[in-house]
Structure 1
């Protein structure tokens, strides 16, 4: 069963619990508004020659990608004998073994489902890569750090804590008026320092933003970014490494007004990880500080249950008003600490653990990139989703703390990995699951934290928020 609504969804089963998603296409598709959200009354603009049609962002462009993986990675790090494997398993807590055994069975069932129902051939769409990208991928694999794309990035994408144009977090103590972009002309800025606080593109067309500083451009030229329609962003460093006493509770995200509330908050935190620390891809932070920061973000920016719905514990969640829907989702690693941190951050701020979406990383022909039962490395990542509604509130938030066997609903998303740090854009899936009516899709508010690209109609924040929106990351179809 294939999707006719979103070209990035190559397969979905009848109950929408098993899907194949093409990662680059999901990001490209998320650069445009839904067909009923775009405003056809808006006049054409000079950018239309660059961006297909009003309200359609970069829908006719390919996101530069890595070559898709054709063969699984060799399992050279796994124990060589059953005795060595048993010895390693003894070090894993029983609850942790049980959790991953359940995920393994879930994935085996999902892969059989796809094998029986998918007739589309390869598990990803054709990709566009640079010559250097193809050479590097053959040598190191698709999840390596790709210099071709790194050369295309600018100072805007450097860690803002080290950039000479970075703003001190205290500069955001008083929220500045937003920077409003135009979709009818180029929005030129001398440096990133001019983009302090929230930047908005209110139009249903894409806008073009340039940074003219030679220090921030590519080969001395200005850097150019495609800003999707009706998107908002804050280029900032979220101060995860500072103690809570030194930060105001009411401003967990620098530059983002505390009165901005969201029906959906999606986070991809920089979890502590030895391999990531060695590679230097991004800074990581202790679990306790990260937990507190996530709590504060949910406390300040998540919609709370409205007073009109306090006595409606039996209300069907599919018929809730948009302002009664509050969803928070956290990408986690396969570490028990990161999972418990996510559970704690959600349940301590009024969310019940509602669903878990498992991204299984596969080759082009559907093989897991490494064995499902690998001990040192897993071929999947998990998105933990909490929901704060009258229905969710009736579910015990103590399920994980007490060790009871309550299990959230689980969905499986199969996707062939792309360049490092690039995950599937799940906007379409969130809308299918949580915002099912046309009115709710039009009106819900979403925020992505630690984002690496923008999404049409959403807010985003982080110090790499424009990473994959650089013009140089896209090529014509």
Structure 2
């Protein structure tokens, strides 16, 4: 598989440790709906039900990019107040951020010296309804209309039914296979039980009745090429049930070279906003471990022949977990990886910037930090694994090349809608799966996803949220 030019990467340095990524472009490109930049022609769009007809590029609706840092600040107003707050921060957390912050500022300085673009993001497409508003006691603008239109997207998916299925026998029904040559019509979203798969190299259109009794929710969804999804609630708010699969409907025999998590971490601001449920760290750790134990690939295992993908040439086993900036979140990610045989090898730091390249809030802020971190682990083949003394990440020194310090890469990107992160398919392929100018065959599972990715499997209760047809425009 030849790797096309990644149009979402606006800049990268020669050692591939610093990047500028455009978030909407990364999502659109990973959908497999955009034209191939190598041949100058348009590919098949999800709005095109006549395969083969050239159509225009698809763009995902977004929030307008920030032009300047957030106004105001919730940071302590005096040095004494700051000192009191610092006393409440765990020592390991302070040491980690004290180490990260100068590296982050250095990465931004390096970009400014080399990047020739006037803006640090591409032009965005957004609805006329996406008007910024300022809530009381909140300094930054919030773009909420698109979120409001999609918040009832999955009404009728019978959440209670989905939750119960995790306590019963695993769902081993055959996958639902979608057609790319005609619209796939279903009575309701709740009828999409188990794996739903689009095996075609073209996108598929799914239509289902989605009404909450008050107003209709979007009913048409664009399913990317060679993708599959499981619309389910992953039970992480209660102890592990006995004799159950961690992802209902996903066979235990299905293994993945890459497992990527964006968990609903316990977080005070998220709890206030009510965007999604959050759960205690211990239960979340347990669920991440269950999924990695069952679905992470090792080279001494052979993927089943009925897998969506061809036999993967890659023998890598990778796992990535997005974290918040709290010590508990970071420790949970490390524990989940190391307890399942992974060694943390990299940390990717997403620095949130304005369209002009400034951090959206002070880098050294105590209440709000303008960055998030993806912790990446790699598991070696069982047959050659040599047990080593376990070294807690908090004891690692900051001087590289200390082997207990992971390699760090920095991703500058202008934020978009709430919780929307850069799609990292292109980056994983560039850094882990590229061989001699081509991308190896590999399998990937994204857990707690909010949109699909071409060639990947996704699981969670919002996996097709932003694959709603109304979230996309042509241009």
TM-score of the superposed pair, with normalisation by structure 1:
0.86
1:167/1:224 CA distance change after superposition, 3 Å: farther
What is the alpha-carbon distance in structure 2 between the residues aligned to residue 26 and residue 64 of structure 1?
A: 13
Q: Does 1:14 align with 2:14?
A: yes
Give the corresponding residue for 2:260: 266
The 3-state SS of whatever aligns with 1:443 is coil
What is the alpha-carbon distance in structure 2 between the residues aligned to residue 47 and residue 409 of structure 1?
A: 38
What is the alpha-carbon distance in structure 2 between the residues aligned to residue 465 and residue 110 of structure 1?
A: 33
Give the corresponding residue for 1:302: 296
Give the corresponding residue for 2:96: 99
**Aligned-residue offset at 1:79:** 1.1
1:160/1:282 CA distance change after superposition, 3 Å: farther
Identify which of 397, 419, 422 aligns with 1:421.
Answer: 419
**Aligned-residue offset at 1:74:** 3.1
Aligned residues: CA RMSD: 3.2
TM-score of the superposed pair, with normalisation by structure 2:
0.87
The 3-state SS of whatever aligns with 1:115 is helix
**Aligned-residue offset at 1:128:** 1.1
More helix by share: 1
**Aligned-residue offset at 1:468:** 0.8
**Aligned-residue offset at 1:233:** 0.2
Give the corresponding residue for 1:451: 449
1:159/1:381 CA distance change after superposition, 3 Å: farther
**Aligned-residue offset at 1:352:** 0.2
Give the corresponding residue for 2:29: 29
Give the corresponding residue for 1:228: 224
Gapped runs of 5+ residues in structure 1?
37-43, 309-320
What is the alpha-carbon distance in structure 2 between the residues aligned to residue 175 and residue 379 of structure 1?
A: 43
Query: Quick check: 1:142–1:420 contact (8 Å CA) kept in 2?
Result: no
Give the corresponding residue for 1:398: 390
Give the corresponding residue for 1:328: 319
Partner deviation per Cα, 1:398-417 (whole Å, 9 max, x = no partner): 23257232210000000000
Query: Quick check: 1:51–1:206 contact (8 Å CA) kept in 2?
Result: no
Partner deviation per Cα, 1:69-123 (whole Å, 9 max, x = no partner): 1111135211111222222222223322110011101111100110001001111
1:52/1:6 CA distance change after superposition, 3 Å: farther
Give the corresponding residue for 2:40: none
Identify which of 309, 319, 340 aligns with 2:331.
Answer: 340
Gapped runs of 5+ residues in structure 2?
37-42, 303-311, 398-403
Give the corresponding residue for 2:65: 68
What is the alpha-carbon distance in structure 2 between the residues aligned to residue 75 and residue 221 of structure 1?
A: 36
**Aligned-residue offset at 1:173:** 2.2
**Aligned-residue offset at 1:53:** 5.0
Give the corresponding residue for 1:237: 233
Partner deviation per Cα, 1:315-360 (whole Å, 9 max, x = no partner): xxxxxx8452000000000010010000000000000000000000
Query: Quick check: 1:450–1:464 contact (8 Å CA) kept in 2?
Result: yes
Partner deviation per Cα, 1:176-223 (whole Å, 9 max, x = no partner): 11000000000000111211000000000000000135448x954860
**Aligned-residue offset at 1:8:** 0.7
**Aligned-residue offset at 1:439:** 9.4
Q: Does 1:202 align with 2:193?
A: no
Give the corresponding residue for 1:288: 282
Query: Quick check: 1:183–1:206 contact (8 Å CA) kept in 2?
Result: yes
